[in-house]
Amino acid sequence: GASFPSVWYTSSCFPLPGSSRILQQESPPILYPELLKAETVSCPCHSENCDFVYWFRTLFNDDSVQFLVSCNLADRCTHGSDIVQSRFKVSSSKGSFSLRIADVTKQDAGIYSCVVKVRGQEEVWRPAAVVRPGEKAPTTVKPTTKRKPPVVPVCRCSKTKKPQANSCGSMVLWPLVGLIAVLAVVLIGTLYYFSRLPKKCRHNFVK
C-alpha cells in the first residue's frame, strides 16, 4: 500500500519537525458546482519530476480531514476506506494532477487539498480549491463612473440651429462695421457743413 504523508493526521496541516514537506500558503479558487453534476479540481506541480499525488479534503460539516485517493503517473490509485471509487478519479497531464468528482452533493462541500511528491525531493502540500455545491457565486458590482458635465461654449449659439464656424467672429465684426458707419456719417456731415459756408468764411478758415 501507499505510505500516506503525516500531514493528513493533523488539523493544522503543517509539516512535522524533521520532515521534508513544504507548505504552500496560497488562496485557492472557490468552485460552485451544480448538484449531481461533475466538478474537476486541479493541482499543479510546477515540475516534470512529480510522480505521486495525494488528495484529501476538510469537510465543512464536521471539520474532519478525510483522505480521498493517491495516484502515481502509472494511474495506480489507492482510495480511502470510506470513499466511493467511481466518484473520485485522478488524471495527470504535463506536470499537473486533476481530481474529478462525479455526482456532487451537499456533503462534498469542503476544502480540497493535494500533496505532490517530487521524485527524490520533498513533498509539497497546497490547497487546491474550496468547493461549495449548490451555491451561487456572488455577483460583483462594477463601480459607476460619474460623467463629466458638458463644456459650455463661450459663444452662446441658438439651440435650434447648428453653430457655424464664423458665428462667433460675426459678433466682433458687426460692432466694427457700426463704428465705421458712425465715423463716415460724421465725416460726411463735416464736409457738408464746410460746403455750405460762404466763400469769405472759408477763406478765413484757410488763413
Please tell me the pTM assigned to this model.
0.59
Name the pairing type of β-strands 50-59 and 65-72. antiparallel
As a whole number, mean pLDDT of residues 99-111 equals 96
Return d(Cα 13, Cα 65) in angstroms, integer: 9
pLDDT interval class at 156 (50, 70, 90):
low
Task: Classify each residue of 28-59 as buried b or exposed e, where b means 16 or more C-beta atoms within 10 Å of its C-beta.
Answer: eeebebeeeeebebebbbeeeebbbbbbbbbe
The residue out of 131, 160, 186 marking a domain boundary is 131
Residue 177: inside a domain, yes or no? yes
Domain count for the chain:
2
Residue 1: inside a domain, yes or no? no
Place of cell 510522480: 51
**CATH number for 57:** 2.60.40.10
Is residue 179 located within the same domain as residue 120? no
As a whole number, mean pLDDT of residues 152-174 equals 58
pLDDT interval class at 108 (50, 70, 90):
very high
Residue 36: inside a domain, yes or no? yes
Is residue 122 located within the same domain as residue 178? no
- Residue among 54, 28, 13, 59 at smallest CA distance from 129: 28
Residue 197: inside a domain, yes or no? yes
Return d(Cα 124, Cα 45) in angstroms, integer: 8
Is residue 99 located within the same domain as residue 49? yes
Over residues 18-42, the pLDDT tens digits come to 345 556 566 899 999 999 999 999 9
Can you give the residue range of the structural domain that contains 176?
172-206
pLDDT of residue 191: 73
The residue among 104 and 48 whose pLDDT is bigger is 104
